[in-house]
Amino acid sequence: MGWLRHLRWKLVVSHLLIILIGVVVLLPTAHFLAEIQLPQDVSLTLGSAASEAGQLDPTTAPTQPASATQIERFQIVVDQALLISAFAALAAAIVVSLFVSRRIVEPLQELSSVSRRLAQGYYRERTSIRSDDELADLSQSINQLAVALEQTEQRRLALLADVTHELRTPLTTIEGYMEGLIDGVIAPEPQIFAMIQHEAVRLKWLTEELVLLSRAEAGQLRITAQPTDLLTLVEHSAAQFQPQFAAQEIQLELRMPPELPEVLADPNRLEQILINLLSNALRYTPAGGHVTITAEPYDFFVQIAVRDSGIGIAAEHIPHIFERFYRVDKSRARKSGGTGIGLTIARHLVYAQGGEIWVESPGLGHGATFYVTLPVYAAVAAGV
């Protein structure tokens, strides 16, 4: 009975069963009704047949009772007719069912073969079912899944290439210096050790960022939200950057109202976000520019804005800026130490704290403003 495991034969058998049940119900019902109804009807028929033949006066002729043999013969004829019809119906059902089940099973077979290929890693596979039923919906969902898998795979490969490149650069530098030192080609001077240390620090920072990114993407970021005074936190983060801004002749300005409501946030994570936005502002603003941090309450949120007068972002890049490893200008970003991870982590961190993050830029050369919203503590506590 292995063949019964196939959907096609299950459909055929189920269609036949329906016909069989119909026959099984129909036969005894017809038989039973015939038994009650026939003696009377056959008598009438016989009576009227005799009168039509002129043997009897139709007004006065008594109804001739049908004999038992006549009724029996009639019932046999009815049963035979029903049986022949049942066989004809079964034969027709087999043909129709084979056709119908093929139309159902074939798309399913295609769907299952495509899913199997997808599971084997062939993410370019697509189904081509064109109908307007649930199978077409399923086919569309499988195709969407395939597109998502293909994109994820492409991102994974790109990630691997990026991570390898980012790790290899400082490692190669360290290796080169060490070899030079061992061979005596490079003099062991303090600035050489400082350079090696700089690369080692960069390597450490990069691995930490990657760990953070993978945790963020796995939804495993630990967030300890608490009532947080934004002004103190922003002042603290800005103070850390002040010397670097001054060194690059960029003016860093804070425009924060003193009466800001407390936000519900993880101070360490929030500082991490601010540091990312400030280091980007520093990186992408030329000397002589200015960067302003503002904050204002907005409904049940506080909206922080980091505005710079830097190189700006072209409209086509804005939707991708928060994507992992996305850099507008890869060569320039690498030169300036960017990896394209910072904003991805920042976005995860903001979302994990119930906020929003986005960027606006009037275009290349016109600066950029990064906005972060965080929920007001009092509003969350009041259950708003």
Binding positions for ligand ADP, rule: CB under 6 A = 276, 280-281, 284, 308, 310-311, 313, 321, 326-328, 333, 338-344, 368
Contact 61, 51 (CB under 8 A): yes
Q: Which is nearer to ligand ADP, 74 or 351 (CB)?
A: 351
Q: In angstroms, what is the minimal distance from the CB of 4 to ligand ADP?
A: 58
Q: Please report how close the Cβ of residue 325 comes to ligand ADP at its closest, in angstroms.
A: 8
How far apart are CB 326 and ligand ADP at their closest, in Å?
Answer: 6
Residue type, 16: L
| Smallest distance from ligand ADP to CB 345, Å | 8
Q: Which of residues 42 and 343 has its CB atom nearest to ligand ADP in the complex?
A: 343
Cα–Cα distance for residue pair 216/223, rounded to 1 Å: 11
Pick between residue 311 and residue 376 the one whose CB is nearest to ligand ADP.
311
Please spell the DSSP secondary structure of 101-127, one letter per residue. HHHHHHHHHHHHHHHHHHHTT-TT---
Nearer to ligand ADP, 265 or 328 (CB): 328
The nearest distance, CB 9 to ligand ADP, in angstroms, is 57
- Given the complex with ligand ADP, which of 125 and 166 has the nearer CB atom? 166
Nearer to ligand ADP among residue 257 and residue 319 (C-beta): 319
How many angstroms separate the CA atoms of 71 and 65, rounded? 10
Tell me how far the alpha carbon of residue 61 is from its chain's centroid. 85
Q: Is 282 exposed, middle or buried (0-12, 13-18, 19+ CB in 10 A)?
A: buried
What is the Cα–Cα distance from 188 to 184, expressed in whole angstroms?
A: 8
The amino acid at residue 50 is A
Residue nearer to ligand ADP on the CB measure, 137 or 329: 329
Minimum CB separation of residue 260 from ligand ADP in Å reads: 23
CB 295 within 8 A of CB 303: yes
> CB of 23 within 8 A of CB of 17?
no
Q: Are strands 368-375 and 356-360 parallel, antiparallel or unpaired?
A: antiparallel
Could you tell me the smallest distance in angstroms from the CB atom of residue 156 to ligand ADP?
18
DSSP label at residue 354: T
**Which single residue brings its beta carbon nearest to ligand ADP?**
338
